[in-house]
Amino acid sequence: MVGMSDVRLYVATSNAGKMRDFVAGSGGRVRLEPLPGLKDVAAPAEDEETFEGNAGVKARYYSLMAPGEMVIADDSGLEVDALGGAPGVRSARYAEDMGFAGPAGASVDERNNFCLLEALAGVTERAGRYRCALAAAKDGVVLWGASGSLEGSLLDLARGLGGFGYDPYFYVGELGKTMAEMGAEERLALSHRGKALTALLDAMGM
């Protein structure tokens, strides 16, 4: 097993919450660092129909910013069965896609959550899952990929102050908590990102 001090992987994200999940999920097997200069370049178009497709697009694109280095990129989001798998790959842009303005002053996450609640009004079967797809690329070529998921259901009322995105509404029955109510260790044990990263590092032999 390759040690943390021997291998560095760059992560193509500026999302602090995602970065925390990935670092925790690595379990010290590798050294994960944010890709330098990420905020200074335009993001690639995420127009693939699957999480795996978008992860591959981002990994290829961002790996060209760090020649000779391995860069991992993710695409993740929420799938709700009653909505035909929506928000899906458009989870971060759900309210925008739906033309949902939301309350004045609401953040992007809040708008997305309010839009989801409106779409689920009157729906009793609210099963869904978080999904994460990861791709690892070097010099514009994807070499490995992996994915992970977490099953749950959607609540009407937010619970918890941790996490981000849809976490306050995503309820995990086996723990009786939303993702936003979980501590770091609980999140690590269940996280779709942690599962995807573990699978990716296994595939890479790290």
- The torsion of the CA quartet 46, 51, 56, 57, rounded to 10 degrees, works out to -10
Q: Phi, psi at residue 186, to the nearest 5°?
A: -65, -45
Residue ranges of E strands in 4-112: 8-11, 31-34, 70-80
Q: With CA atoms as reference, report the closest residue to 180 among 194, 166, 195, 200.
A: 166
Would you say 155 and 178 are in contact if contact means Cβ atoms under 8 Å apart?
A: yes
Q: Which residues pair with 75 in a beta bridge?
A: 133
DSSP letter, residue 149: E
Q: Phi, psi at residue 128, to the nearest 5°?
A: -165, -175
Amino acid at 175: L
Amino acid at 56: G
Angstrom distances, CA of residue 63 to CA of 6, 76, 198: 19, 19, 20
Residues marked active site are found at: 75
